[in-house]
Chains A and B, each alone.
Chain A
Amino acid sequence: MADKSNDPVAMWQNMIGEMEKGFNSFANQTMSSPEFSKVMNQVGGVAAGAQKQLGELMEKYLVSMNLPSRAQMVGMAERLQSIEGQLNDIKTMLTQMNKASGMATGGPSTQMPPRTKRPPSAEGEPK
């Protein structure tokens, strides 16, 4: 195998690794300052405000285009979720009924193994 100090690929990979470390360390130092926090949060605050306004504008635009708005889609998703939730409840109920009647379905209600396991060391088995 070639000596790593002469291997250009290894040198390249090493250089990238060092650059990453150096840049991260430098950036972390910069980001630790209160000034950074101030600027970052000022910019972030403006962006959040702009996002809210854009959202409201889009909502009006969609209504004027006779297209469903986000709120309406969310409402539909909610109804779907509620239906899914009810289906899950029915499924859980059926599973419990199956368990109670001892039926084997091959599905989720498949009988659980016995809860008798002991840790290997307690049984004298190698860990």
Chain B
Amino acid sequence: MNAPTGLDFASISDRVQTEVQRAIQRSIKGVEYFSTSGPTLGSTPKDVLLSRGTLQLYHYRPLADEIYRVPILIVMATTNRGYILDMVPGQSFIEFLLKRGYDVYMMDWTAPKPEEKSLRMEDYVLDFIPDCVRKVQEDSGVEDVTIIGYCFGGVLSLLYGSIFQDGPMKNLICFTTPIDFSEMKLFSNFSDRRYFDVDRLIDSTGNMPPELILQSFDMLRPASRAVGQIQLWDNIWNDEFVKSYRMFDRWANDILPLAGEYFRTTTKDLMWDNKLFNDTMTVGGRPAQLDKIKVPILHAVAEHDHIVPYDAAKHLIKKVGSTDKEEVMLKGGHVSLVAGPNAIRRLWPKLDSWLGGRSI
């Protein structure tokens, strides 16, 4: 019944009842939240093919009776753990690929130890990736390899692809990969060469501390962490919300340190001199220009990416030398592009339809 004020008292009564029930549930579930751990992440069965300090190469066990000829090698971003792509069954990109008949390998990273502070960009691009590609070739018995790079893993894959132009990379897929670092406005300002003494920082800390990296990510959206806590409390009665919150919160806080020399080069060559965009990038003395990449390439970007804004990523497809190239912009943010319900509906099927025909 509608009162003359326009308020629906029956609905308000229902709403109050619902809110009281939720308040009770919050108390119960709130205790549960603090007394239990979150869901187990990254549990798709896999074998470690290679372990070299900070680098781990996994091979996931197949989940299909028949697989595509060309295996996939995923290059994870060096700041983050690979389990973002393998959250829980039903919400795992890896599991999705395996069920769709792909043979999947992943280069994942652990925290570089203090003595690994001397790892340079060339160790990642000219040694780690080629070594893993060789292992994938040996293990699969297939010469061709598709490479998928997420965020900075995409940058490493681009550098690798532009140097090793004669293969064996058959296809390249980049997720939210920046190439014009001047368009990462806040990061550029944080690392302004007039005030940011990267040499002093790395000389005193060895590796780039993960706390500083986490802090700089948080500073992009300073209110979001507090609001996230409020939203958690608001929705703590909702098991699905809590499960999802815990998965993403754990991953977002699980930031890895970066090897000191590698971070130094990233800051100087990419953040300061924007060499990848300006076609002046070299790795270990070898030119790395994007127009040398000729393989089929797909670049997936997110409409609301606050970490890699579209302006920082949009020139990639224009600059590569491939004729078979496509950029796809999907709704979502930097993380929801690749994981979670948004990714399940949008990116994963898109990637499957693009890659299937190119994997035979």
Contact = CB atoms under 8 A, between A and B. Distances in A.
Interface of A: 1-3, 6-7, 9, 13, 16-17, 19-20, 23-24, 27-28, 31-34, 36-38, 40-42, 44-45, 48-49, 51-52, 71, 74, 77-78, 81, 84-85, 88, 92, 95, 108, 110, 112-122, 127
Interface in B271-323: none
A45 B197 contact: yes
Contact of A115 (B68, B115, B204, B224): B68
Contacts of A92: 49
Nearest to B11: A2
A116 B103 CA distance: 12
Q: Could you tell me the dominant secondary structure of chain B's interface residues?
A: mixed
B205 A114 contact: no
Given A9-B19, A78-B113, A110-B61, A52 B205 contact: yes
B165 interface: no
Contacts of B62: 112-113
11 contacts: A24-B223, A31-B189, A32-B186, A48-B201, A74-B115, A92-B49, A113-B62, A113-B64, A116-B69, A119-B353, A121-B357
B356 A120 contact: yes
A115 B195 contact: no
B204 A112 contact: no
A41 B197 contact: yes
B234 interface: yes
B interface bracket (residues with beta carbon within 8 Å of A): 35 or more
Interface stretch (B32-40, B146-154, B166-174, B214-222): B214-222
B48 interface: yes
Given A45-B200, A77-B113, A119-B357, A6 B189 contact: no
Nearest to A51: B205
B118 interface: no
B239 interface: no
